[in-house]
Chain A
Amino acid sequence: MSTWLTPQEWTAVGISLKVAFTAMAASLLPGIAIAFVLERRRFWGRGALDVLVHLPLVLPPVVVGYLLLLGFGKRGPIGAFLAEYFGIVLSFRWTGAALACAIMGFPLLVRAIRLSLEAVDQKLEDAAGTLGAHPVWVFFAVTLPLILPGILAGMVLCFAKAMGEFGATITFVSNIPGETQTLPSAIYTFTQVPGGEGGALRLTLVSIIISVGALSASEWMARRVKRKLSPQ
């Protein structure tokens, strides 16, 4: 197995998977919460929050990476605080790559969940309320199961985005083999050196396999959920 990828390539694949899973897992709960408040609550500053969440979708990734460097870098206000009080350093670490990927994938996750929340018939939630369910229970017993397909779709989008993230990652955490060199950075490195075509091609193939795999897995799960809701 290890014969068709070099150890360095395996490491890049491993880092990418680790970064993407971490980014997806870490954004899941905040994603659901923010999608819920944006869709269901009217509050001061809602418009601003909406813009903020969607900003990574329209900003050049390099700009997001640079802003992260400014904020979370060793001398940045948040970075310095985290390093001082919690000993957490994000810049030039794989965790920083996960943060960058999470932020880039976040709007996709939130949008997918919002769309499915919009499709939930709120009359069902009213009905659950009259049956004695506290609003928190209504969310967990009715709303959450009904938006599950949307959450799955959002997670896959977020994961795929994280697997492919390049600009923000390389700007924030650079391209250190064995620490922050993800699949795209490794492919980029291969294309910059003579004789790297083989490696670039192999990693491209791996990228395609992972993406197709993720997509089919989510399709399969979404179909299962849907079949449960409407068997016809």
Chain B
Amino acid sequence: MSDEARVGIVLVSHSAALAEGTAEVAGQIGGGSVAIAPAGGMDDGGIGTSIARVRQAVRQADAGAGVVILPDLGSSVLTVRALLAEEDFPGPVALADAPFVEGAVAATVAAAAGGDVKAVLHAAEEARHARKL
């Protein structure tokens, strides 16, 4: 294993439980070497997405190699885009068009293997082609 910084993963969901649970699953499969930050729910705990929570998660997940963000549905994408329009993060930040659970797992494994933001983004987006059965 190299000591180089891994790409971080941010999981943006309408539900805090969904973001946290997906982070837990991806972390287990990916072997625990990747920073996965869940950003789920509103600040009051309700269902929705919070730009402040996503901002905090991106900062938390960035170990110096950049971050790939996976949104769950609809307005998660709008929240992430609004954040990226108003703030410049120090490292590269990419928004993935990918299925939430499969994309999170594939992205985490790609990051654990030392992939850069482009490789991790590609792994997440390729997840839509994976068959479950």
Chains A and B bind each other: no
Binding site for B on A (CB under 8 A): none
